[in-house]
Amino acid sequence: MKNKKPWGGRFSGATSALVEQFTESISFDRALAPYDIRASIAHCRMLGRQGIIAQRDARRIERALREIGREIEAGTLAMEARCEDIHMCIEARLIEKIGPVGGKLHTARSRNDQVATDVSLYLRDAILNTRGLLVELDRALVELAARNMDAVLPGFTHMQHAQPVLLAHHLLAYHEMFARDCERLESCYRRVNRLPLGAGALAGTPYPVDRRFVAAQLGYPAVSANSMDTVSDRDHLIEFSSAAALIMMHLSRLCEELILWSTPEFAFVEIADAFCTGSSIMPQKKNPDVPEIVRGKTGRVYGNLMALLTLMKALPLAYNRDLQEDKERLFDTVTTVQGCLRVFAPMLGSLRFNREAMRAAAAGGFLTATDLADYLVRQGMPFRSAHEVVGRIVAHCERAGTSLFELDQRALQKFSPAFGADAPACLSIEASVASRRCEGGTAPARVRAAVRAALKQLERRRQSVERELIKINAP
Ligand code: ARG
């Protein structure tokens, strides 16, 4: 009977077509196909080695699985809803190819530990690839900073002019965010990197399996501990989704600044034509669509995280079919975050900063007022009093419609006799930036050192991703 289910033994009635459509996951879990083949081959070898099935059968099954793997690559494997999911679909094809001996593959495993293993293999790849893309994006950012070392702009708080900073310093703030994102992915990876297979349906398996052999075959340094936790744990999906949500939040903040900075009111930056689109009605328009879409996609990654957290809330041990709902959220998060990272790196490389506009904005307000107060502090005045004096100077300038730069020593002395001949010099933007030499400050020497350290760190991270990819994909 063609429509017979692998679990059909205890059933006398056929599944309703509506239920088949409602419960299937083949329409999305086909993304797991290559991982399912890989895990099944490792499992089958172990079964043969342990004498759980005959070596001859194990070899036949492995050969057929490899053929099915090629059918999947070529897109010729039929995947229908009545197969339910990718695991059953591959098993059905196996039995179709080599007959009942194919039915021995599912000895000592359940779809519950099988799906946990497939997702874990998928997630390992996804994390490493995301880390690789993040490193490339971060490198584009740090190189952008290095190319613009001499540019200054107003630093903002409350979106009001605050103090002048180097553009490179501003950009490197995002490097710190991406560096933390990278660490989060590394840490989450360590918890994904444990083999679930062998947990069985929930209680383990009575066969003399060798989980460590399977782990070694699949490049896992360890096997999972409690079988009940193993088949129902989705922490690692949530951890990854949360790391992805933070990556998106950081990208979205940067997007917001790029969108703002490319308005004619700011005109700090120009995004290359290749990363913008026009309007169907307004001929003059050049819209920053890439940062806008990235900012928009942040919401869907947050949504996926919330969906997973809500999915897991109050699920009793062990496997429950609710868990099937985890995959689309995970796959969508991986595709979305990787797509954003991929387009972002070259877009950053295309940015042209307008140094004159940034410098003019930095010179426009009263950005070095704090420096003037600090001057008075160096002459022995308490900071609070210095703040008061300079506040009065700013109010005076505002009334007179002048800037701090126009004040000479005589003008300053009207507000305090403590102003010496060297006072006006501390009002310059360059002096202000250069004076912030503390660790983590915007002084050029600090920022140059930060660029060098970032490039070194990025190279180490790139190599570590490459080494790990080789390790887990070794045959
Ligand atoms: N498609 C299922 C999932 O994604 C596979 C596991 C099914 N297990 C079961 N006991 N029905 O979770």
| Residue 417: CATH number of its domain | 1.10.40.30
Q: Output the pLDDT for position 1.
A: 39
For 50-94, what is each residue's pLDDT tens digit?
Answer: 999 999 999 999 999 999 999 999 999 988 877 899 999 999 999
Same domain for 247 and 280, yes or no, is yes
Determine which helix (DSSP H) or strand (DSSP E) holds 156, and give its type and residue range. Answer: strand 152-157
| Index of the ligand 1 atom closest to the CA of residue 327 | 4
- Asked if 196 and 111 count as a contact pair (C-beta separation under 8 A), the reply is no
Q: Is the domain of 296 the same as that of 407?
A: no
CA–centroid distance, 234 to ligand 1, in Å, is: 14
Last residue of a domain, one of 68, 90, 107: 107
Query: Which residue segment(s) compose the domain that 402 sits in?
Result: 369-427
- Give per-residue pLDDT as tens, 308-342: 999 999 999 999 999 999 999 999 999 999 999 99
pLDDT of residue 283: 83
Amino acid at 220: Y
Evaluate: CB of 323 within 6 angstroms of ligand 1: yes
pLDDT of residue 278: 85
To the nearest 10°, report the CA torsion of 62, 66, 68, 70: 180
| DSSP code per residue over 236-265 | HHHHHHHHHHHHHHHHHHHHHHHHHHTSTT
pTM: 0.96
Q: What is the structure's pLDDT at 82?
A: 72
* CATH number for the domain that contains residue 180: 1.20.200.10
Q: In sequence order, which residues have a C-beta less than 8 Å from that of residue 319 and are 6 or more positions away?
A: 112, 201, 202, 231, 232
Ligand 1 atom 11: the closest Cα is on which residue? Answer: 321
79 or 189, greater pLDDT: 189
- Check if 324 has its Cβ closer than 6 Å to any atom of ligand 1: yes
Among 334, 356, 378, the domain-final residue is: 356
In the reported structure, the alpha carbon of residue 324 is separated from the centroid of ligand 1 by a whole-number distance in angstroms of: 6
Same domain as 322, residue 181: yes
Q: Tens digits of per-residue pLDDT, 237-282?
A: 999 999 999 999 999 999 999 999 999 999 999 999 999 988 888 8
Answer yes or no: is 453 within a domain. no
Closest CA to ligand 1's atom 12 = 324
pLDDT of 454 over the 90 cut: yes
Question: How many A from CA of 322 to the centre of ligand 1?
Answer: 9
Q: Are residues 95 and 121 in the same domain?
A: no
Residue-level pLDDT at 392: 97
Same structural domain, 152 and 245: yes
Q: Is the CB of 112 under 6 A from ligand 1?
A: yes
Q: 235-261 vs 326-349: helix axis angle to the nearest 10?
A: 30
Q: Using DSSP, how many helices (H) and how many strands (E) does the chain show?
A: 18, 6
Q: Is residue 351 part of a domain?
A: yes
Residue 241 lies in a domain: yes
Measured by CA distance, the residue closest to atom 4 of ligand 1 is 324
Mean pLDDT of 178-203: 98
Per the domain annotation, does 92 fall within a domain? Answer: yes
pLDDT-above-90 percentage for the chain: 92
Sequence-separated (6 or more) residues with CB below 8 Å from residue 95: 102, 103
- The verdict on 264 and 175 lying in the same domain is yes
Residue 375 CB–ligand 1 contact under 6 Å: no
Whether residue 283 sits in one domain with residue 252: yes
Q: Rounded distance, CA 188 to CA 256, Å?
A: 28
Per residue in 31-40, pLDDT (tens digit) is 999 999 999 9
pLDDT at 2 over 70: no
Same domain for 53 and 131 = no
Residue 291 domain-assigned (yes or no): yes
Q: Is the CB of 319 under 6 A from ligand 1?
A: yes
Same domain membership, residue 235 and residue 322: yes
d(CA 134, CA 10): 50
Per-residue confidence (pLDDT) for residue 475, from 0 to 100? 65
Going by pLDDT thresholds of 50, 70 and 90, the confidence category of residue 286 is confident
Same-domain status, 244 and 345: yes
Residue 33, judged by CB atoms within 10 A of its CB (0-12, 13-18, 19+), counts as buried
Residue 23 Cα to ligand 1 midpoint, Å, equals 10
Mean pLDDT of 196-208: 98
Q: Could you tell me if 196 and 132 lie in one domain?
A: yes
Q: Give the mean model confidence (pLDDT) for residues 109-124.
A: 98
Pocket test for ligand 1, best of 11, 82, 85 (most atoms within 8 A of CB): 85
pLDDT of residue 291: 97
Rounded mean pLDDT of 353-381? 95
Confidence of residue 284 (pLDDT cuts 50, 70, 90): confident
What does DSSP assign to residue 287?
B
DSSP line for 1-36: -TT--TTGGG--SPPPHHHHHHH--HHHHGGGHHHH
Could you give the maximum distance between any two Cα atoms of the chain, in Å? 102
- Checking if the pLDDT of 426 tops 70, the result is yes
Domain end call among 107, 127, 144: 107
**How far is the C-alpha of 315 from the C-alpha of 396, rounded, in Å?**
66
Domain-located, residue 329: yes
Q: Is the C-beta atom of 25 inside 6 A of ligand 1? A: yes
Q: How many domains does the chain have?
A: 3
Q: Beta partners for 156? A: 161
The string of pLDDT tens digits covering residues 460-469 is 999 999 999 9
441 assigned to some structural domain = no
Q: Do residues 317 and 189 share a domain?
A: yes
- Percent of residues, the chain, with pLDDT higher than 70: 99
Residues serving a catalytic function are: 158, 279
Cα(335) to centroid(ligand 1), Å: 22
pLDDT, position 231: 98
| Matching residue, tokens 């079919």 | 321
